[in-house]
Structure 1
Amino acid sequence: MFKNSLAKGILSAVIMGTVLTSVPLYGNGLHNSKIVYAATKKVATCTVDKLKVRTDSGTEFAQLSSDGTMVYLLLNDKADVLGEKKDKSGVVWYKVRFLSNGKSVTGFVRSDFVKVSSENASTPSDNGKTNTRKTAGKTKKSSSIKETSKYSYKGEVKTKGLRLRTGVGTDKPQYKIGTAGVVLPNGQVLNITGEKNDAKKIRWYKISTKVNGKTVKGYVLSEFVKLSVDKKAPAYAKVTAKKGAVIKTKATAKGNEFKDSKGKKVVLAKNDIVSIFHEITLSDVKYYKVSFVISGKTYTGYLVASQVKLIGIVKDTPKADDTDNTGDNNDGSDDNSDDNANNDDNDDGNSGGVINNNNGKFVTQRAYITSDKVELYNEADYKADILKESETGIPYKLNMNQEVIARKQYIVGNEKWYLITYIVNDSTGKQVIGAGFVPEKYIKLSGEPVDDSTGSSNKKKISDKAFEKELAAEGFPEDYKPFLRVLHRVHPYWHFEARHLGLDWEYAVSRESVVGLNLLQNSSNYAWKSMEAKAYDWANDAFIAYDGSTWVTASNKAVRYYMDPRNFLNEDYIYQFELLTYKPEHHTEEGISAILGGPPMKDTTYDYIASDGTNKTISYAETFLLAGVYSGVSPYHLASRVKQEVAGAGRFSSSVTGTVPGYEGYYNFYNIGAYNNTAPGGAVASGLKFAANGSASKAVIGNKSFNDYIKIPWNNRYSAILGGAAFIGNNYILRGQNTPYLEKFNFTEKNTFSHQYMSAVFSPSSESMITKRAYAELKDEPLVFSIPVFQNMPPVISERPVDIPSPNNWLSSLQVTGYQLTPAFRPDTTEGYGLVVGKDVDVIEVTGKTANKKAVVNGFGQMKLTPGGVNVISISVTAEDGSVRTYKINVAKEG
C-alpha cells in the first residue's frame, strides 16, 4: 500500500571514477563540515527547480531583485562562485554572479541547493563499465556520519498472527507469558533493535514490544514485519552484499535498473550507507526504497532488502540544515507551519511545495496532515458531508503527521482543497483505505511524486501461491475454487472475497421462491415459471402477471439456478459479483476512461457553474471519480451504468441533452424515475421530472434533506452525475447490497429477502454481460469481486432448468348436454359430480374444454348408460407432458 513514504536522503559521500570531490550533503540533518576544490574558478549549478537569490547570506535578508523582478536560479542554471560565507547558524552560502534577463547580478544562494564544480575540471570517466560506487568510508569518511550497531526502528506486524520466539529460527521455543505462547496480532507496533539470519539464511528481527502491559523481547520473521519509516523518520542501512546492491527505479525482479547521467547501471558498493523511507513486498520479495548520493546530488531508488543490514547513525546536525526561521520557507528549508502551503509557488527546493508537471497539471504526491483529528469531506466544500463509517456513523479522522496521497488540487473560492487517499483503522480496528477532501490548511505537500494512477501498489499481480493462500483465508468452499483458479490465470490482478452470508441454502431458496418476488417473461418455458397457487391459473392455462402484462413468477428451479454462485464464476457472468463500493486503491481515472470507451464521454470535457459561482471545466472521467468519492459507489460501476443507460451507439440519449421541451436544462444520467408510461414524453419525461423535482422522501442524510443530498435539481451535468450516484449508493449499495447479485437477491441483514432493486430473476447475469462489454477496454485492472457463500450448500451445482412440455391436464369446462351437474363444475374438483336421468335414457352426451389446447381428452362424446344402478362416467385428460388427470360424473336413472 502507501502507508510509508518518501523521505529526505542521507547520505554517504560518493566517489566516482578516479577524481575525489568532497561535496556537501544536506539530507536529514547530515552534512560535511568542509569543502575542498582543486581549481581556482568555481561554477555553481542549481540542483532544484527554483532557488531564491538573496542580498546577503541568510534567510533574514531580502530576495534580490532586478528591474523590479525577483531573481531566481532555475534548475541547471549556472553562476560563477565569487566566495562563500556562513550565516549566523553556520550554514554556508555562496556569493554568485550570473546574467538575469540580460543583466549581470550578484547575490547569495544556499550551498546545499547547488552543485559546485571547477571550470577546467574534466568529468570522471567510468571507462564504459557499470558504475559501482566506492565507499566514502574507505577513503575519507564524513565527520558527520558515524555508524553504530545500536538502533531502534518502529515496525508493524503485517499478518494475522506472528509468533514471538526466544531465538532465531522456527525450531526455537516460542516466547511465553505463563503457559501461553505469545502471538503478535496484525498491526502490533514493534521496536526493531537488531536483525540476524538463521541457519537457512532467513532473516529475523530482534524486537521488543508490549503485550498486555508487559514488555516482551525476542525474534520474529522479518518477512511479516513492515518498517514504519517515512520522510521524517527514515531507517539507515549498510550494503552487505559482496557484489554490491543493484539499484532499481521500480521494485521489480528484472529490468528497471537505475542509471547515472552516462546511462550506466548504478550498483552501491559493499558498506555504502543508505536511508530507507519506504518498504514494499512484491511476489514475496521485500524491497526498500532508499536515498543515496551520486556526485553531490541525492537520488532515490529500490533495492532488495536482503542486500543491506540495518544500522544506527549518530548525527552531528547544525541548526542551519533544518529550518529557515523567517517562516517563508523559500530556501529549501522544511517549515512545518500550517500556513506553509500558502507559499507553494516560491519553494526553491520543492520542499513541501506543489509539484506541477510541464503542462501545469497538479502531480500526485505524498503529503502530511498538519493537525490532529482532521475530518474529511465528500466534496471540496465546508457544507459537504463529513465522511463516516457506514455501520457506526463515526467520522473518519486523520492525525498529525499522518501520511496521505494528494491526488488532485481544487480551487474553491480563494481556498485550495486537495483530494487525498488515506489509510485509517475504523472503530473495529479494521484497516480502511479511503478518499476524501481536506482544505489546504490541514495538509503539507511533500513535493515527492508517486504513481499518478492511484498512489498505491494496486497493480500487483497475485502469484499462484499467494492466490491459494487468499482462497484459503477467505474460506471459499472447495467447489468454488476450480472456477476461481481459471479466472485467476486469465486475470492475475483480480481479487476475490468470500461473502459468508450466514444463511441456510434451502431456507434462502424457499424465501426467494415466494410468488411474485422473482419474475421473468411469460414467453419463457414452463420449466422456468412457477405453477404455484397465485402464480398460475390452471383452469385458464394462464400465468398471473406481477409486473405489466408479461412478467410472471419464476419457478423454484429457476430461482435455484440464478441464486447458485457456482453457475456464474466465469468470464461472462462474474461481473454480477463485482464489489460496487468505491475502492480508491483500485479505481482510477485511467480505468474509468477505458470503460467510457469512445464517444460521447471518453476524453470529453464539459462546462458547468460550480457551487461557488465560478465556471468550471471538467472531464467525464474525473466527474465519475468524484462521484465515487461523493457517493461511496464504484466509479467503474457508475460509468458502466451511465454508458448502458444514456450513451449507447456513440451518442447521448435525450435524457442528458438538456433540450427536451418543458425540461430544458435538466439531465438524468442514470434514468432514475424514468418509468414506462403513457403520459406525454413517456419514460424520458418522467425521468426529467425527477431531475427537476426529486424524491418525496423525507429522509435526512447527514445534515441535509434527501433531495439536497442527491443534489436536486439536476440542472447541470456535474450535479446529475454526482447526485444520481448518491441516490444509487444511499438506497442500495451503502446498505450492504453492494454487488449486482445482492441488489437482486437481498441476503444482507437489512430487510432480508425484500428491498430488491430489480424483479427479473436473471438481471444480475444479463447485466454482467453488458458490464463485460463496457469493460472491454479495461486492461489488467485489479477489480474486486465479493462472492456469496451459503451454509449447507448442496454438493451438486444447481442445474439450469430444461424446457418441458405443458403439464396442464385440467378441464376448463365440463357439461352433460340437457342436464345440470350437481354441484356446479369447478376445474379444480375432479369428483363428486352427479345427475339423474329418466329411466328410459340410455345415452348421454358429455362435452367440455381443456385448459391447454395441447391436452388430449378421453371421455367426451356420447356415453352409453347401463340399466340399473349408478353409472360412473370417467373423463381422463392427458397433458402434453403425459400426466393424466381424471374427472368423474355419477349418473343415476330415475326409479
Structure 2
Amino acid sequence: MLKKILIKSIMIAFMLGVFCGGLPSKEADINKIEAVYAAEKKMAVCTAEKLRIRTDAGINFPQLTSNGNKVYLLLNEKAEVKGEKTAANGQKWYKVTFKFNGKKVTGFALSDFIKIQAEKDKTEKKEENNSKNNISSDVKLKEVPKYSYKAEVKIKGLRLRTDAGTDKAQYKLDNQGVVLPNGQAVNIIGEKNDSKKAKWYKISTKINKKTVKGYVLGEYVKLLVDKKNFAYAKVTAKKGAAIKVKANSKGKALKDSKGKDVVLKKDTIVSIFYEITLGKIKYFKASFSMGGKELTGYLVADTVKFVGVAEDEAEKDDSEQETDDSNQNEDEDSSEDDEENDDESEDEDDGNGSGVIGNNNNNKINNSGQFVAQKAYITSDKVEIYNERDYKSDILKEIDTGISYKLSMNQEVIARKQYTVGNEKWYLITYIVNDSTGKQVIGAGFIPEKFIKLSGEPVDDSTGSSNKKKLSDKKFEESLAEQRFPEDYKPFLRELHKAHPYWHFEARHLGLDWEYAVEKESVVGLNLLHNSKNYAWKSMEEKAYDWVNDAFIAYDGSGWVTASNKAVRYYMDPRNFLNEDYIYQFELLSFKPEYHTEKGIEAILSGSPMKDTFFDYIASDGTKNTMSYAETFLLAGIYSGVSPYHLASRVKQEVAGGGKFSSSVTGTVAGHEGYYNFYNIGAYNNTAPGGAVASGLKFAANGSLSKTMIGSKSFNEFIKIPWNNRYDAILGGAAYIVNNYILRGQNTPYLEKFNFTDKNTFSHQYMAAIFSPGSESLITKKAYAELMDEPLVFSIPVFENMPVEISAIPEDILSPNNWLSSLKATGYSITPTFKPSVTEGYSIVVGRDVEFIELTGKTASKKAVVTGLGQIRLAPSGLTEVQVEVVAENGDIRTYKIKVAKEG
C-alpha cells in the first residue's frame, strides 16, 4: 500500500509537464492535417474497458451525468468527434457526442483512450501526383485568407509602417512614431512585397496596452514555431521550391526515392516548424507529404507565402447542425446533474481499472504518436540505473557511499518517456528505492528496454503528492527548537509555515563570526553591483573608488563596481530574505523528480529565447536529435543531480537576459565557431581579444586542466568537453556545477554566492553580482507558482554572534566627495607638489612686499562647493595660513591648509 501511495506521489508533477509527452513524431504535422482537413467525419473509438466522460477538458472536471447516471464509453463503442481541446496540463481531449441509455449526450474524453476512425465520403477522390520531380502534398487543404502566427522582433529598433515599403509613413500612436524593441512579441497576419520585391510582414502587436497593426520588414522578424506549434505556407515560386538537407547555399538537395532532387511545385502547402537565418538568407524547415510519406527539409523563405488553413465546413449537412444544437442543450442539462455528484469519489483514472491504452495490454503510444507515461515492471534482478541513455554513461549511486542504486525483479516503476538509441529503446523512469541506511529515495534515470515491461496502464495523476509531511504547529515549533534557530529567525519562519505547511526548514550552523564574515566579504572586487546604484550601496574604499575623478572603479565590464560594507551586510543577513519572494535562495539544490517538471522549467524560461523552443544536435552515436530546452534541463538534472529549476534560472540570468541569447551560446563567435557555454563557466573578465566571452568559449573547447577522475572518467569527459552542441553544453555545465559547487557543500544559491563552507571559505564563489541569489529566487518563485505546494527543503545559514538588529537596507545618501582635484597659486610654486589626498603640509614663499596671492582649484565632484580660493590678503610680516574648504553634497567638510611665508 505504501509503495502505491509513494508511486502516486510522483505522478502529479510529471504529468503536469510536457515531461510525460515526449517529442512529437516527424509524422505528427502531416497526420494532423489529414485528420482535420480531409473530407470525412471523425469517429472516436473507445480503447478502454470503461472510459469516463468529463464535462470539460481536464481530469479536474466532474464526470458527465445523464438522468442521474454517470456517463461512460465502453470498449469499442463509437462517438462522433465534435472538436478538440487542450487541458491546462497539456493533455488533449476530444469533445464527443453519442447516445447513452437512449439519450444523446456530449462531453469530453481523454485522447489517450481514443482511437480515431474516419468515415470518408464515398465520392471523395484522392489527388494523384503525376509529377516525377515536383512534389505536392498528398493531403488537399482548404486555404483561407486569415491566419495569425507568433513571431518576435530580432533587431534593436524596428519601425512600424502603415504599408509595405521604407517610403511609406511610419505608424503613429499618440502622435509618436512606433518603433518596436528587440524581442517584441508580434503576430504575423499577412505579408506583401514592396516595389523592390522586399518582403514585408503585416503584424499585430500591443503597445502600451493598445493593439496596433502595420508592416515591418520580414528580414527583421523571426517566426516562433516548433514541432507542436507550426505555421502553414504555400509555394509561390513559379519554378517551385528546392528542398535541401541543410540550411545553406551549398547544402545538398533532398532526394526522392529515385535519387532525383525534390522540388515542391507551386501552390504546395507545407508545415513550417523552424526558422534560421544564415548570412542574409532566411530558411524555413518544413514538413510535407510525398508518396504517402512525410518528409522534412529546408527551403528558402522567399519561395513561400504564409497561408491559413481550415476545415471545409461544406461537408457538414443539416442533420449535423441539428445535432450540434441539441448537444448544446444537453450540455446545459448535464451540468445541473453534475452539481449533485460533486462529492462523489474521483480517485479512479480516466480509463478503467486496467488502464488499457490500445486494443492490447502493452500498447505504449497514444493516437497522437506520443508515448504515454505508464506503470511498468522490472524484468530482472539488481538492475542498475543510468544517468543517460547510453551504456557508457554513469550508474546512479549514493553520493556519500558510492553504492549504486539497484532495482528488483517485478519492482513497479513509472515509465515516463521512450527514446530510441541506435536499434534499442531506452526508457526514462522514476523509481523508489531504499539506500544503504534504509532511507527511502525517489529518483529518476534511464534503463534499456530489455529490463522493463510496460503495463499499458497510464499513471493516475488525479491525486496530489502523498509524499507530503504536514507539520502541526506544535511539531513545527519542536522542529525549530531542534534545529536551534535563533529567536529572531522564528517569526519569519512561522509566517512561511502558515502559508506553506509542507515546507521544511533546516538550520545550517556555519560556525563563523558575523563581523568576521562581513569583513571578508567586503574585500574590494569580491562582491559587485551596478554603478547605477546610489553611493550608499557602493564601496568608497581604496581601489574601489577614485576620489580625484569622482568615479567608481569597475571590476567587470564597464558598469560593475564593488558593493559597500552596508550592502554586503544587507545581502548576507538571512533574516532579510525569509519571505515569500526570496526564500528560494536557501533551497537545497538537489534534483527532486517528484516535483521538477518540464512545465515548471518552461515557466522559468518564460521571457527568454528558450521558452517552448527546440534545437537540433548530433549525438555521440552520430544520430541527429531534436530536443526542447525544457527537456534538456530536465535531463541535465538527472545527469548531474542538480535541480533543473536552478539550472534553467542560472542560464536565463547568464546568457538569455533581455529576451535574447548572448554571443556565448550562438556558436558563431569568430575563432570559436561551433562552441557553446550556457553557464559562462571560465568566462572571466580580461583584456585579451574577445574578453570574457572568448575565455568562456575557450573553456568550452578545451575544458579544465584538472586531473581529477570522476568514477572511471576524466574530469573533462565527465563534463562532456568539448561543448560543441547545445545538449552537451547544458548537461556538461550542470556536471561542472555539481562537482565544483554542490558536492563541495555549496548546495544552495546563497552558498554558491557566499562561500561559507569549510572549503576555500570566502573564495570560489560562483557569482560576482551580490544580488544574484535574490534574483534567482524570484525566477524560481514564479516557476513554483505554477505547481502545487510541494515539500521543499530550505537550508538557512546561521552565524555566530549575529547582531540583534537585522541589517538594514542601505538608504540613499548624497555624494560624500569633498576633495579638490587640483590647487595652484598663480605665479608661485606650492611645496610639496599638491596631492588631492593630502590636506596639510603645503607652503608658498613670496617676496617681502607681496600683499596678495591668487589661489585657483577645482573640486573632484561637480556637486561639491569650495571656499577660500581667489585673492588672498597676506599678513604684513611673518606667516599667513590659508584654508581652502570643500563642502561635499552631503555636508562633509574637507579643509586644505597652506602656509604662505614672506622672504626675510
Normalising by structure 2, we get a TM-score of 0.54
Give, in whole Å, the separation in 2 of the partners of 1:802 and 1:787. 26
The answer (yes or no) to whether the contact 2:822–2:834 under 8 Å persists in 1 is yes
Aligned twin of 2:860? 851
Q: Deviations over 1:707-755 (max 9, x none)?
A: 4333344454433432333233333334332332222212222211111
1:407 paired residue among 415, 437, 462: 415
Aligned twin of 1:566? 575
2:404 paired residue among 396, 403, 421: 396
1:541 paired residue among 539, 550, 554: 550
DSSP 3-state at the match of 2:510:
strand
Assess, with a 3 A threshold, how the Cα gap between structure 1 residues 514 and 417 changes in structure 2: closer, same or farther.
Answer: same
Assess, with a 3 A threshold, how the Cα gap between structure 1 residues 815 and 584 changes in structure 2: closer, same or farther.
Answer: same
DSSP 3-state at the match of 2:738:
helix
The answer (yes or no) to whether the contact 1:406–1:445 under 8 Å persists in 2 is no
The answer (yes or no) to whether the contact 2:357–2:364 under 8 Å persists in 1 is no
Aligned residues: 575
Give, in whole Å, the separation in 2 of the partners of 1:368 and 1:778. 30
Instruction: Report how far residue 768 of structure 1 moved.
Output: 3.2
The answer (yes or no) to whether the contact 2:832–2:842 under 8 Å persists in 1 is yes
Aligned twin of 2:827? 818
1:730 paired residue among 732, 739, 759: 739
Give, in whole Å, the separation in 1 of the partners of 2:528 and 2:587. 23
Instruction: Report how far residue 634 of structure 1 moved.
Output: 0.9
Matches within 5 A, 1:457-496: 457-458=466-467, 467-496=476-505
Assess, with a 3 A threshold, how the Cα gap between structure 1 residues 635 and 451 changes in structure 2: closer, same or farther.
Answer: farther
Aligned twin of 1:498? 507
The answer (yes or no) to whether the contact 2:752–2:765 under 8 Å persists in 1 is yes
Assess, with a 3 A threshold, how the Cα gap between structure 1 residues 784 and 592 changes in structure 2: closer, same or farther.
Answer: farther
Give, in whole Å, the separation in 2 of the partners of 1:830 and 1:427. 70
Assess, with a 3 A threshold, how the Cα gap between structure 1 residues 367 and 423 changes in structure 2: closer, same or farther.
Answer: same
Q: Name the aligned partner's letter for residue 770 of structure 2.
A: V
Pairing 1:556–2:645 present:
no
Pairing 1:829–2:838 present:
yes
Assess, with a 3 A threshold, how the Cα gap between structure 1 residues 258 and 553 changes in structure 2: closer, same or farther.
Answer: closer
RMSD between aligned residues:
4.8
Q: Name the aligned partner's letter for residue 375 of structure 2.
A: Q
Higher relative contact order (CA 8 A, sep 6+): 2
Aligned twin of 1:135? none
Give, in whole Å, the separation in 2 of the partners of 1:456 and 1:697. 42
DSSP 3-state at the match of 1:591:
helix
Matches within 5 A, 1:350-499: 361=371, 363-365=373-375, 367=377, 370-372=380-382, 375-390=384-399, 392=400, 394-398=402-406, 405-408=413-416, 409-413=418-422, 415=424, 417-422=426-431, 432-439=441-448, 451=460, 457-458=466-467, 467-499=476-508
Q: Mean alpha-carbon deviation: is it higher for 548-557 or for 646-655? A: 646-655
Assess, with a 3 A threshold, how the Cα gap between structure 1 residues 345 and 831 changes in structure 2: closer, same or farther.
Answer: closer
DSSP 3-state at the match of 2:495:
helix
Aligned twin of 1:632? 641
Give, in whole Å, the separation in 1 of the partners of 2:622 and 2:882. 87
Give, in whole Å, the separation in 1 of the partners of 2:882 and 2:572. 47
Aligned twin of 2:816? 807
The answer (yes or no) to whether the contact 1:860–1:875 under 8 Å persists in 2 is yes
The answer (yes or no) to whether the contact 1:675–1:686 under 8 Å persists in 2 is yes
Aligned twin of 2:850? 841
The answer (yes or no) to whether the contact 1:421–1:435 under 8 Å persists in 2 is yes
DSSP 3-state at the match of 1:405:
strand
Aligned twin of 1:886? 895
The answer (yes or no) to whether the contact 1:370–1:444 under 8 Å persists in 2 is no
Assess, with a 3 A threshold, how the Cα gap between structure 1 residues 849 and 859 changes in structure 2: closer, same or farther.
Answer: same
Q: Name the aligned partner's letter for residue 817 of structure 2.
A: N
Instruction: Report how far residue 584 of structure 1 moved.
Output: 2.3
DSSP 3-state at the match of 1:630:
helix
Aligned twin of 1:797? 806
Assess, with a 3 A threshold, how the Cα gap between structure 1 residues 560 and 762 changes in structure 2: closer, same or farther.
Answer: same
Pairing 1:757–2:766 present:
yes
DSSP 3-state at the match of 2:768:
coil
Q: Mean alpha-carbon deviation: is it higher for 752-761 or for 773-782? A: 773-782
Unaligned regions of 5+ residues in structure 1, if any?
8-46, 50-74, 78-252, 264-296, 301-343
Assess, with a 3 A threshold, how the Cα gap between structure 1 residues 646 and 407 changes in structure 2: closer, same or farther.
Answer: farther
Matches within 5 A, 1:146-185: none
Q: Name the aligned partner's letter for residue 843 of structure 1.
A: F
Give, in whole Å, the separation in 2 of the partners of 1:810 and 1:747. 38
Give, in whole Å, the separation in 2 of the partners of 1:367 and 1:3. 13
Q: Name the aligned partner's letter for residue 404 of structure 2.
A: Y
Instruction: Report how far residue 404 of structure 1 moved.
Output: 6.2
2:593 paired residue among 574, 584, 600: 584
Aligned twin of 2:345? 256
Give, in whole Å, the separation in 1 of the partners of 2:460 and 2:801. 45
Q: Deviations over 1:526-555 (max 9, x none)?
A: 211112222223333332222233322111
Instruction: Report how far residue 817 of structure 1 moved.
Output: 3.2
Give, in whole Å, the separation in 2 of the partners of 1:585 and 1:518. 35
Give, in whole Å, the separation in 1 of the partners of 2:349 and 2:571. 59
Instruction: Report how far residue 510 of structure 1 moved.
Output: 0.7
DSSP 3-state at the match of 1:365:
strand
Instruction: Report how far residue 760 of structure 1 moved.
Output: 1.8
The answer (yes or no) to whether the contact 2:397–2:403 under 8 Å persists in 1 is yes
Q: Name the aligned partner's letter for residue 746 of structure 2.
A: Q
Q: Deviations over 1:680-725 (max 9, x none)?
A: 9998887767655555655543333444333344454433432333
The answer (yes or no) to whether the contact 2:650–2:776 under 8 Å persists in 1 is no
Assess, with a 3 A threshold, how the Cα gap between structure 1 residues 663 and 466 changes in structure 2: closer, same or farther.
Answer: same
DSSP 3-state at the match of 2:581:
coil
DSSP 3-state at the match of 1:786:
strand
Instruction: Report how far residue 513 of structure 1 moved.
Output: 0.5
Give, in whole Å, the separation in 1 of the partners of 2:838 and 2:874. 23
Q: Name the aligned partner's letter for residue 398 of structure 1.
A: K
Give, in whole Å, the separation in 2 of the partners of 1:628 and 1:713. 20
Instruction: Report how far residue 799 of structure 1 moved.
Output: 0.7
Assess, with a 3 A threshold, how the Cα gap between structure 1 residues 678 and 481 changes in structure 2: closer, same or farther.
Answer: same
Q: Deviations over 1:116-142 (max 9, x none)?
A: xxxxxxxxxxxxxxxxxxxxxxxxxxx
Instruction: Report how far residue 759 of structure 1 moved.
Output: 1.3
Instruction: Report how far residue 567 of structure 1 moved.
Output: 1.6
Give, in whole Å, the separation in 2 of the partners of 1:599 and 1:885. 50
Q: Indicate the structure (1 or 2) with the bigger Cα radius of gyration.
A: 1
Unaligned regions of 5+ residues in structure 2, if any?
8-47, 51-73, 77-341
Give, in whole Å, the separation in 2 of the partners of 1:598 and 1:819. 64
Q: Name the aligned partner's letter for residue 405 of structure 1.
A: V
Give, in whole Å, the separation in 1 of the partners of 2:846 and 2:663. 72
Instruction: Report how far residue 515 of structure 1 moved.
Output: 1.2
DSSP 3-state at the match of 1:748:
coil
Assess, with a 3 A threshold, how the Cα gap between structure 1 residues 407 and 500 changes in structure 2: closer, same or farther.
Answer: farther
Instruction: Report how far residue 430 of structure 1 moved.
Output: 6.4
Q: Deviations over 1:562-616 (max 9, x none)?
A: 1112222233333333333212233234433444459976666666554445555
Pairing 1:529–2:527 present:
no
1:862 paired residue among 838, 857, 871: 871
The answer (yes or no) to whether the contact 1:644–1:770 under 8 Å persists in 2 is no
The answer (yes or no) to whether the contact 1:407–1:452 under 8 Å persists in 2 is no
Assess, with a 3 A threshold, how the Cα gap between structure 1 residues 677 and 745 changes in structure 2: closer, same or farther.
Answer: closer
DSSP 3-state at the match of 1:831:
coil
Aligned twin of 2:529? 520
Q: Mean alpha-carbon deviation: is it higher for 688-697 or for 825-834? A: 688-697
Q: Name the aligned partner's letter for residue 394 of structure 1.
A: G
Aligned twin of 1:275? none
Instruction: Report how far residue 663 of structure 1 moved.
Output: 7.4
